[in-house]
Amino acid sequence: MGRWVRIPPFLLRSNKLVYCEATNSFIMATSARTEFSSALNAIATERGLDPAVVLDTIKQAIIAAYRRDARERGEDATEQLLEAEVDSQTGEARILTWTEGKEDKKQDITPPGFGRIAAQTAKQVILQKIREAEKDAIMSQYQNRLGSLISGIVLRFDGPNVRVDIGRTEGTMPPSERVPNERLSLNQRLTFLLKEIKETERGKDVILSRADPEIVKKLFAREVPEIASGAVEIKAIARESGGRTKIAVVSTQPGVDPVGSCVGQKGVRVQAVINELSGEKVDVIPWSEDPDKLIASSLSPATSVSIELNQKEKEATVKVPEEQLSLAIGKEGQNVRLASRLSGWRIEIVKLEGEKKTEIETESNESEPKSKTKSKTKAMKEPEVKEEVSVPIEEPAEGPLRPSEASEARPGQPNKDVK
């Protein structure tokens, strides 16, 4: 006599049963997958989770539903030790309980079913747990990308913060990580630095930045292949976001120009970085172990500087010609501040008082009396203006002269034709 087994309805619909003549029963093919297993793997693939995480979520939901159902019956199951077992292939579930210290003696207390409220509770637990697991998986993915560049679209302005769509989740750019004079608009695509993942009241949040100096390094590494390969290294960087950035570069391979590699042909590489930083000025200087050369280079575009170092106090007194003074100091002292951060020395700018300046003053002092003497000489040599005295021509008594005759007559000489 054959053995009869109960066939679940969803298996009849799935067409994954095989009839066995020896037992006169339907059995499930070993290669086939049940509807529960297919749904489990589909959810895991869609959410980017491990199927074991989804299965564990279902176990927690079953325990929550049991506690809820017990409370509806007037039983207290909050302190009861419970464990759920779920078959990953068939979806068959059991609820076990045991007393403390007797884990080896577990009792099966699986109810025949759950009420509507308990089923709703299980559904909410599953959704919540899967959402939390999905967010943890996303955060772990971004955790591995900390310190790298990421492209995002500005979604909205949440008070002082900016919410940015970065793909699978949203990131936050706080005011401290924004460029002060940069204007942002909705749906604007920008490049951000994935700075950190921070715990907040709402859970983990991805913090983005555009003001950190590290974003300049990453942009140069993206635009300059020599930096990405290690042939050129950025030794130091000083930045005032929105204003100016200075970087010092050095070559690790002979024959490679570090400054030329970063600038590129006709400045295309550094211009690409400037465009990503919304027009922020970028100065690329060569790195040197000699403090004199490094400080002189960091004060560019100022040239012809004289440097005196105080090694004990690590202070540098820089003497600059008067015509280069404004370039060395910069707007509101910006150039000298960045040079001090880049070199690590305290820099004091002093106006140069050298021979060149003295010669100019001497020439100007000597030229003053000469100019005065020349002016006096010119005044003495000016010709005197003499008054012209006109002699009136007496008309003859006989009558006035005709115009033709008057033109022929000379002053002081009588006309022969006139009688």
Q: Which residues are within 8 A (CB) of 128 and not within 5 positions of it... i.e. 6 or more apart?
A: none
Neighbours of 357 (CB within 10 A): 13
Distance between CA 269 and CA 262 in Å, rounded?
A: 6
The CATH number of 145-209 is: 2.40.50.140
Tell the CATH topology of 290-357.
Answer: GMP Synthetase; Chain A, domain 3 (3.30.300)
Bigger pLDDT: 284 vs 112: 284
Bigger pLDDT: 369 vs 162: 162
- Within 13 Å, how many C-alpha atoms sit on residue 316's CB side? 25
Lowest mean pLDDT among 270-284, 305-319, 399-413: 399-413
Strands 93-97 and 107-108 turn out to be antiparallel
Q: What residues does 245 pair with on adjacent strands? A: 239, 282
**Residue pLDDT, tens place only, 78-92:** 778 888 988 888 888
Look at residue 357 and tell me whether its pLDDT is greater than 70.
no
Query: Is residue 354 very low, low, confident or very high in pLDDT (cuts 50, 70, 90)?
Result: low
What is the structure's pLDDT at 409?
A: 43
Bigger pLDDT: 205 vs 411: 205
Percentage of residues of the chain with pLDDT beyond 90:
39
Look at residue 168 and tell me whether its pLDDT is greater than 80.
yes
Percentage of residues of the chain with pLDDT beyond 70:
76
Instruction: Pick the closest to residue 355 from 308, 321, 318 (CA basis).
Output: 321
**Residue pLDDT, tens place only, 169-179:** 999 999 999 99
Look at residue 33 and tell me whether its pLDDT is greater than 70.
no
Same fold, 213-287 and 290-357: yes
The residue ranges of every structural domain in the chain are: 35-140, 145-209, 213-287, 290-357
We find that the CATH architecture of domain 35-140 is: 2-Layer Sandwich (3.30)
Bigger pLDDT: 19 vs 57: 57
The rounded mean pLDDT for the chain is 79
Beta-strand runs (E) in 104-180: 107-108, 149-158, 161-165, 170-173
User: What mean pLDDT do residues 216-220 have?
Assistant: 95
Look at residue 412 and tell me whether its pLDDT is greater than 70.
no
Question: What letter represents residue 387's amino acid?
Answer: E
Distance between CA 148 and CA 215 in Å, rounded?
A: 8
| Cα separation values, 253 from 132, 219, 232, 257, Å | 49, 21, 8, 9
Sign of the CA dihedral running 100, 108, 126, 29: positive
**CATH: 2.40.30.10, 3.40.50.620, 3.30.300.20, 3.30.420.40. Which one for 213-287?**
3.30.300.20
